[in-house]
C-alpha cells in the first residue's frame, strides 16, 4: 500500500507539473495575433471581417447590468447541470457542457437571461447586415461552458453541414441532388452570436477559430493532424460584455481551461431568411406574449402551441 501511495504522489506531482507547463505555454503563446476587436457602430467593418474570417468580435455590447444578469443566469444553469454530473464527464467532452444540450428543450429560451439577449440593438444591426435583411429567425438560445480541469482540446468541427438522413440527425436540411453545390458554397445560412459574461483570457478556455474556413471543402483535421498554430488560434483576450459573431460553418473548437473559474459563452443562434432546419419549441406561448414585438418576430418558430405544456428541465444528454 505504501508503494501505491508513493506512486500516486509521484503521479500527482507529474500531473501538476504538466498543468503548470501548459499554463505557462498558453499564457505566452495563446491567442490570434492582431485580433480585431471592434466597437458598436462599426457595422460595415464588422460585416467585412465576418465575411473574411468567419467571425468577428465586438466589445461593449452589453452594459454592466446586463453582463451581471447574464453571468448569474449562466451560473444558475451550470449549477443545475453540474448537480447531475459528479464525475464531470460533461456532454461536450470532459468538463465541457452545452447549455442547449443540457436542456430538455435543447434551448435556454425559457430563461429570462437569454430572453434579454433578443433585444440587444447592436446584435440586430449586425445580424441584419450580414443577412441583408431583418427577417431572420431564431433557431435556439444555447451556448456552452467549460470548467477548470478541462485540459483537453475539443476536436475542430463545424456546426452545420449538408443533408444527412434522419437516422443520423433530424436537424439537417440542405441538399443539392446534382452534387454540385454544398452548404459551404452559399452565403452564410446560419449565424451564432456568443455573449461574454466574463473576460475570455488565454487560460480560461477561449474558443479557437480557424479564419477563413467557412467556405473550405477541405477535410477538417483531427486533433492528431491539427498543426500547433491552429491550436493557438484562439479568440482572446476579449472583454466581458463583448459578443463574438460566428459563421457556424467555420472550423472551431474548445481549448483547455487552466484558470480557476468557469468560462461561459451563452448564445443566440439565427437562421437566414431563406434557410431553415427543424426547430424545437423553446418558449411557452404565455412567455412569448410578454416579449417585445421585435423579439416575438425573432422567436416565432420557437413557440410552443398555446394548448401545449412546454416541459423544461435539465439533462446531461439532449433528448
pLDDT (0 to 100) of residue 171: 78
Per-residue pLDDT of the chain (319 residues; tens, 9 = 90+): 444 465 454 455 577 889 999 999 999 999 999 999 999 999 999 999 999 999 999 999 999 999 999 999 999 999 999 999 999 999 999 999 999 999 999 999 999 999 999 999 999 999 999 999 999 999 999 999 999 999 999 999 999 988 888 778 777 888 889 999 999 999 999 999 999 999 999 999 999 999 999 999 999 999 999 999 999 999 999 999 999 999 999 999 999 999 999 999 999 999 999 999 989 999 999 999 999 999 999 999 999 999 999 999 999 875 5
Q: What is the C-alpha to C-alpha distance for residues 280 and 106, in angstroms, rounded to an integer?
A: 7
* Beta strands 208-209 and 252-253, pairing class: antiparallel
Beta-bridge partner residues of 267: 142, 194
Residue recorded with cell 432546419: 277
Q: Which residues contact 296 (CB under 8 A, 6 or more apart)?
A: 288, 289
For position 318, what pLDDT does the model report? Answer: 59
- ∠ CA 308-310-312, nearest 5°, is 165
Q: What is the pLDDT of residue 49?
A: 98
- Cα 257 from Cα 96, distance rounded (Å): 10
Q: What is the pLDDT of residue 39?
A: 98
In the chain the domains, ranked by start, together with CATH numbers, are: 37-298 (2.60.120.620)
Distances (CA, A) of 157 to 118, 223, 230, 249: 27, 11, 12, 8
Return the pLDDT at 319: 54
Q: What residues pair up with 137 in beta bridges, in sequence order?
A: 271
What pLDDT shows up at residue 173?
Answer: 82
pLDDT at 161: 86
At 317 the pLDDT is 76
Q: Please name the helix (run of DSSP H) or strand (run of DSSP E) that holds residue 21, with its range, or none.
A: helix 2-29
Amino acid at each position: 500500500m505504501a508503494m501505491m501511495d508513493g506512486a500516486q504522489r509521484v503521479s500527482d506531482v507529474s500531473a501538476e507539473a504538466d498543468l503548470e507547463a501548459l499554463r505557462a505555454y498558453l499564457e505566452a503563446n495563446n491567442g490570434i495575433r492582431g485580433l480585431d476587436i471592434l466597437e458598436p457602430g462599426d457595422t460595415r467593418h464588422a460585416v467585412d471581417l465576418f465575411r473574411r474570417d468567419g467571425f468577428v468580435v465586438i466589445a461593449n455590447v452589453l452594459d454592466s447590468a446586463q453582463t451581471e444578469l447574464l453571468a448569474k443566469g449562466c451560473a444558475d444553469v451550470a449549477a443545475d447541470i453540474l448537480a447531475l454530473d459528479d464525475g464531470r464527464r460533461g456532454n461536450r467532452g470532459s468538463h465541457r457542457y452545452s447549455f442547449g444540450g443540457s436542456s430538455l428543450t435543447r434551448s435556454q429560451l425559457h430563461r429570462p437571461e437569454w430572453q434579454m439577449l433578443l433585444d440587444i440593438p447592436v446584435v440586430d444591426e449586425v445580424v441584419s447586415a450580414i443577412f441583408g435583411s431583418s427577417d431572420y429567425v431564431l433557431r435556439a438560445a444555447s451556448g456552452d461552458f467549460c470548467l477548470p480541469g478541462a485540459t483537453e482540446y475539443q476536436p475542430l468541427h463545424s456546426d452545420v453541414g449538408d443533408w444527412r438522413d434522419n437516422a443520423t440527425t433530424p436537424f439537417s436540411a440542405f441538399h443539392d441532388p446534382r452534387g454540385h453545390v454544398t452548404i459551404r458554397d452559399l452565403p452564410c445560412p446560419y449565424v451564432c452570436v456568443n455573449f461574454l459574461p466574463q473576460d475570455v483570457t488565454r487560460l480560461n478556455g477561449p474558443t479557437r477559430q480557424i479564419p477563413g474556413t467557412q467556405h473550405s471543402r477541405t477535410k477538417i483535421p483531427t486533433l492528431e493532424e491539427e498543426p500547433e498554430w491552429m491550436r493557438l488560434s484562439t479568440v482572446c483576450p476579449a472583454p466581458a460584455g463583448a459578443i463574438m459573431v460566428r459563421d457556424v460553418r467555420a472550423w472551431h473548437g474548445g481549448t483547455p481551461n487552466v484558470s480557476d473559474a468557469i468560462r461561459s459563452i451563452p448564445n443566440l443562434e439565427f437562421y437566414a431568411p431563406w434557410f431553415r432546419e427543424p426547430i424545437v419549441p423553446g418558449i411557452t406561448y404565455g412567455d412569448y406574449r410578454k416579449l417585445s414585438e421585435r423579439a416575438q418576430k425573432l422567436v416565432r418558430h420557437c413557440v410552443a402551441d398555446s394548448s401545449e405544456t412546454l416541459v423544461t428541465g435539465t439533462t446531461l444528454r439532449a433528448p
